[in-house]
Homo-oligomer: A and B are copies of this chain.
Amino acid sequence: MKYDPIYYGDYLQLDTLLSSQKLKSLEHGKEAHDETLFIITHQAYELWFKQIIHELDSVHKIFNTSNVNPTHLGVVNHRLQRIVQIQRVLNEQIAIIETMTPLDFMEFRDYLVPASGFQSIQFREIELKLGLRQRFRLGIDQKFFNSRLKEEHKEYMIKLEEESTFLELFDAWLSRMPFGQTENFDFWQEYQNSVNKMLEQDRKIIMDNKTLHDKEKEFELKNLEATRNSFAILFDEEKYNALMETGEMRISRKAKLSAIFINLFKDEPIFQIPNRMVESLLDIDEMFSTWRYRHAIMVHRILGTKIGTGGSSGHDYLKRSTENNRVFLDFFNLATFLIPKNFIPALPSEIKKEMGFHFE
């Protein structure tokens, strides 16, 4: 034994941990059986939130440079996937809290007013560190949340807003990616040509289709125009940036082009891990979004439609934030801009070589 012998319970500080459940119902004279469940479930959430923050901070540090080391990308993806696995557990935990019935909750609910899950600083910290800046939140969410925090926590949240988010660092990293344009080759020019050819071909098919009624034809052509318009915005810096201002787009045009490029050429050795990283971000967003949705249903189940202290029923608010608080929608929308393999412009061999290993 190289070091002082360690005892399991001491190492984990179990004496502290297992005596940190102080029941309000007991304080008020009569233990409510399910208050223990209520406390422990929330504590388990907070422990896992701490772990997620630990992982986010570590990948933030790796990306917080203008020259990200490629030997770190495997680890980054590994940690993002770890977050996804933790989220699986967070989602499964909802089914535990749902074993508490409305009447069981009523036994101690009044003692807890006005405490609220809104006051979980760590969860807000996770959302923010991923990329959900204050300005992207629902109005009610911003106002209501802040008004209920302790002064020190308000200040902490304000300080956090001063730091870069993972989404911003990832945006910057994607934006620095070369390959799209070299001296002799302009990939995006060729891509636009392909898109136009594809759209033109689609138009012809619609026009020549004799089985379509006029109304259907009209409808199909309208769809086609919508698609054309999506591409037009992608290739028009000014229009794109205007949507950045409104928050409809959250990553820069350059980053989005890189993300599309990675997706199109995901088999190239240099993109295999970056492509997985983008998928990990989709996973994280999807898992939190599912968690918010199930959380809303759980609240509905236990509280019904009672109007909460926030002025709208809890589950109504939660449902709205389910969609609003998504962080990586830009990457979900990538699929909009992909084109069939046979339309993808071929890369010159000198560029392809750059994407491979020294060793062959």
Which residues of A are interface residues toward B (Cβ below 8 A)? 1-3, 5-9, 11-14, 16-18, 20-22, 24, 28, 33, 36-37, 39-40, 42-44, 46-48, 50-51, 54, 58, 70-75, 77-78, 81-82, 85-86, 88-89, 92-93, 95-96, 99, 101-103, 106-107, 110-122, 150, 153, 178, 205, 209, 211-212, 219, 223, 226-227, 230, 263-264, 266-273, 275-276, 282, 286, 289-290, 293-294, 297, 300-307, 309, 311, 319, 323, 332-341, 353-359
Contacts and interface: CB of A to CB of B under 8 A. Distances in A.
Contact of A16 (B16, B24, B282, B307): B16
A85 B75 contact: no
A231 to B, nearest CB: 12
A8 B120 contact: yes
- When all copies of this chain in the complex are counted, the total is 4
A273 B270 contact: no
Contacts of A14: 46
Given A267-B71, A306-B336, A114 B357 contact: no
Contacts of A336: 304-306
A304 B332 contact: yes
Given A17-B17, A286-B297, A40 B47 contact: yes
A6 B150 CA distance: 11
A319 B73 CA distance: 34
Q: Top 9 nearest A-B pairs by Cβ distance?
A: A304-B335, A304-B336, A8-B119, A74-B272, A102-B335, A13-B20, A354-B359, A82-B99, A6-B115
Nearest to A226: B307
Contacts of A21: 13, 50
Given A51-B36, A58-B33, A24 B11 contact: yes
Given A1-B209, A20-B16, A71-B268, A115 B354 contact: no
B89 A96 contact: yes
Contacts of A269: 70-71, 73-74, 269-270, 273, 357
A205 B268 CA distance: 49
5 contacts: A1-B114, A8-B115, A36-B51, A101-B263, A304-B338
Contacts of A270: 269, 357, 359
A142 B16 CA distance: 28
Contact of A44 (B47, B115, B305, B311): B47
